[in-house]
Structure 1
């Protein structure tokens, strides 16, 4: 009989506690013939490797600059890892340097953590998500409680009374933020307007100093989202371009008509023709994606870092 997946948090207060708990979690699995994956900052991977000693050779290590850039790529890394050995259970330690994230990215990380309970349901995986109590503010430590049904404490997993239903959490995070009055707005109510949007995003993004690769990914993401709006939404279809705090935002709005599914673009679709494929792809391309609806329609906001804000790949590991 298959064992249900687990999603456990670890709130640690020092390197020794981290190494003991994360290393013990992985060793338990290795002793049972399971696979092991660590997605974490370099300093954390080194702690785990030292703790495991020779057993570390059986662990796959992926630096956070690869696994979490963008954040939703962590799902792809894990899904590919599971697909490589179908049916073999995997233990995963997954952590990134949350203190480096912009507010929009942190909201999206809340979605990612809550949605993991749904995305990996039925899959042979045990997820352990560590949170550093020394450096993270209470608002981020709150994710450890709301998104995980178990807490690892001194080698044991305790029930988490603070766990919140993932669908409720995702629904609450699906709020609408309206574009500012000084946004650049394009009317894109026809399929032929998609090429106009692509050209405008490329020209304005380049003029505002976005890196070429960032512009390329954003151009593809907005094409997917706008095409989806034209096929499944209702007119008018609008694209707003603006900066918000330290993010450059490409905001697609249509007339709506149907409630937004909190899982749209969160759970990987079975086929590229599926309704949620465009949003799923967009999440693999940009720093953060917000989706919500109100009386003004459906709003999808694609965020990339504004010029001057470093990504994880440009920073030294914590």
Structure 2
């Protein structure tokens, strides 16, 4: 019988503290025959490699600008790693440089951390998420406090009294933000309208100076989400384009008012499936994805970083 997954946070206050706790977590896993994966900033990888010594050769290390670019790709990295040896338990450390994230990305990271508790609940994974308590502001440390049911302290795990119900957190993050009055809006209610919509997105992306590869990713993500709206939503389907802080937003709206599963698009649909990949793919392509429903319909907002 597979033991349920564990999802634990570590609030560290120094390099020494991080290396000691993260190192013992990995060594404990290796001693039990588990496979080890570390996704973290380069400075953390170096500390952990030094702490582990020869044991580091048994660990897969991935820099955070690869694993978390965009953020939900971390799920893909974890899934691929576990699939290489499905009969073996995985111990995983996951940390990224949160200080560089935009407000929209931080909201999405709250979703990612809370969703882990549901989607990986029965997986053979022990996941440790370190947070730099000496540098991160309290609002970011709140993610650690509320999204993990265990706290690692001095080599052992204690129950976390601040742990919040994951589905309640996800529901609370699904509020709809309406498009601003100055948004460019295009109706796309038939499949034949897709080509014109793609051209508009491509042209607008070029106007604001998006990198061509990023513009292509946004176009693909929008096409997937809009196709879902045309197939499974209710007309009319509208695409709103606008800037919000440091993000360019492609906002798809259709008339459907049924509640959206907060976990929609968090994992790829089970095979075989004729639909359901749109949101999953979109999360792998853009900086953040918001999904919600209100009296005006279903809304999916795709965020891409503006040129800096």
Q: TM-score range by the shorter chain?
A: over 0.9
Deviation at 1:274, TM superposition (A): 5.2
Q: CA deviation at 1:257?
A: 2.9
List per-residue Cα deviations over 1:65-91 (Å, max 9, x = no partner): 110000000000000000000110110
In the alignment, structure 1 residue 290 sits paired with structure 2 residue 290: yes
Measured against aligned partners, the alpha-carbon deviations of 1:225-281 in whole angstroms (never above 9, x if no partner) come to: 001011111111100001000000000000113111111111331147354310011
Q: Match for residue 167 of structure 1? A: 167
**Counterpart position of 1:110:** 110
Contact 2:257/2:295 (CA < 8 Å) preserved in 1? no
Cα distance in structure 2, aligned partners of 1:285 and 1:272:
23
3-state SS in 2 of match to 1:30: helix
Cα distance in 2 between the residues matched to 1:207 and 1:181: 20
The TM-score normalised by the length of structure 2 is 0.98
Give CA-to-partner distance per residue, 1:267-309, whole Å, 9 cap, x none. 331147354310011000000000011001111000000011x
Q: Distance in 1 between the 2:209 and 2:274 partners?
A: 34
CA distance in 1, matches of 2:277, 2:65: 25
2:153 maps to 153
> Could you tell me how far apart the structure 1 residues matched to 2:274 and 2:6 are?
28
1:170 and 1:67, CA in 2 relative to 1: closer, same or farther beyond 3 A?
same
How big is the shift at 1:135?
1.2
Aligned to 1:315: none
Q: For the Cα contact (< 8 Å) 1:189–1:235, is it kept in 2?
A: yes
Q: What CA distance in whole angstroms lies between the structure 1 residues aligned with 2:246 and 2:135?
A: 22
Alignment-derived partner of residue 44 in structure 2: 44
1:36 is displaced (CA, Å) by 0.4
Query: Please, what TM-score do these two structures have when normalized by structure 1?
Result: 0.95
Name the CA shift for 1:9/1:274 in 2 (closer, same or farther; >3 Å). farther
Q: Report what 1:301 is aligned to.
A: 301
**SS of match in other structure, 1:180:** coil
Match of residue 205 from structure 1: 205
Equivalent-residue separation in structure 2 for 1:267 and 1:96 (angstroms) = 20
- The SS at the match of 1:257 is coil
Query: What are the equivalent positions in structure 2 for 1:222-241 lying under 5 Å apart?
Result: 222-241=222-241
| Cα separation, 2, equivalents of 1:271 and 1:223 | 22
Counterparts in 2 of 1:241 and 1:204: CA distance versus 1, 3 Å: same
Count how many residue pairs are aligned between Structure 1 and Structure 2. 308
**Residue 230 of structure 1: SS of its match in structure 2?**
helix
2:91 is matched with 91
Consecutive unaligned residues of structure 1, counting only runs of 5 or more, are: 309-318
Counterpart CA distance in 2 for 1:162 and 1:268 is 30
CA distance in 2 between counterparts of 1:2 and 1:215 reads 43
Checking the alignment, whether the CA contact within 8 Å between 1:183 and 1:241 is kept in structure 2 is: yes
1:235 touches 1:255 (CA, 8 Å); kept in 2? yes
> What root-mean-square deviation, in Å, do the aligned CA atoms of Structure 1 and Structure 2 show?
1.0
Q: Report the 3-state secondary structure (helix = DSSP H, G, I; strand = E; otherwise coil) of the residue aligned with 1:78.
A: helix
Which consecutive residues of structure 2, in runs of 5 or more, have no partner in the other structure?
A: none
